[in-house]
Amino acid sequence: MSAHVGVGPGTRLVRGRAAALAGIVAPLLFTVVVLAQQAARRDEYSPTAETISALEAGPNGWIQQFNFVVFGLLLLIFAVAVHRGPAADRTGALGPVLIGLAGVGALLAAVFPLREDAAGVTYDPGYHFVSGFTFFSCIALGLVVTSRRLARDGRFPALSRYVLGAGLVAAAGVPLMVVLVLPDDAPLHDLAGLVQRGILWLVVFPALVALGLCLRAGGAPTGQAGAR
């Protein structure tokens, strides 16, 4: 005779906090690896003019590809924490799904990397733009939708407003990048790396870290703390 052993609330809480840690580690580790590559390639790479993806082109491009893979996988894990953490609302799993799709976008950036031609010019051989658009649009919308669940939960009033603001700014950054930055003849093309890093490092990444920290410290969602 065998007995079924269920997973208790304490175990679920520990797993949720472990998954939330991925939201803290992902942006920090990604940034450290990018900064290390910039320092190593400072004679040939301009972080002001070139996007992070341009690190995939040229020598040792596999490092940034691997960085995208790790970042994408950690975002997928973090999406689980975002789903389990705040109390549910009518948006259901939409916010976590969007964050997970952003992780898929990062993985696709590794699968379809930028390349460098014989003249040393970086180009997109196909689909890399789609991966970038998927990441930035989904992470922005994911933050906006998740802010609704945070507000409904009741434990995170300040965080919900911050995440909403970050999501809206990041969402505004998507058409900015597509129209005014990324095209070769765009007015801000020479600042592509600076604009992209501003969106990531000043808006998206701090929001992910704050969300991860609060989910790790938050305990059980309101209305579920006494659930058996």
Within a domain: 3: no
Range of the domain at 50: 10-217
pLDDT in tens, 196-218: 999 999 999 999 999 999 999 87
3-state secondary structure of 57: coil
Residue 135 is predicted with a pLDDT of 99
211: in domain: yes
Tokens of 184: 């070769």
Report the percentage of the chain scoring pLDDT > 70: 89
Average pLDDT value for the chain: 90
- Which residue would you say has higher pLDDT here, 67 or 13? 67
**Given this model, what pLDDT does residue 219 score?**
52
| Residues constituting the chain | 228
Residue of higher predicted confidence among 3 and 110: 110
* Per-residue pLDDT at 227 exceeds 60: no
Residue 4 lies in a domain: no
| Number of domain units in the chain | 1
CA–CA distance, 154 with 31 (Å, rounded to integer) = 32
Cα separation of 194 and 58, whole Å? 20
What's the pLDDT score for residue 228? 34
Question: For residue 226, what are its two tokens?
Answer: 């006494």
Q: How confident is the model at residue 11 (pLDDT cuts 50, 70, 90)?
A: low
- Tell me, yes or no, whether 48 lies in a domain: yes
17 lies in a domain?
yes
**pLDDT tens digits, 42-96:** 999 999 999 999 999 988 999 999 999 999 999 999 999 999 888 777 777 999 9
Confidence band of 5 (pLDDT split at 50, 70, 90):
very low
In a domain, 114, yes or no: yes
* Choice between 14 and 208, residue whose per-residue pLDDT is larger: 208
Q: Helix axis angle, 94-111 relative to 128-153, nearest 10°?
A: 160
pLDDT in tens, 23-34: 999 999 999 999
Structural domain includes residue 75:
yes
* Residue 166 within a domain: yes
pLDDT at 120: 80
Backbone angles phi, psi at 19, to 5 degrees: -65, -35
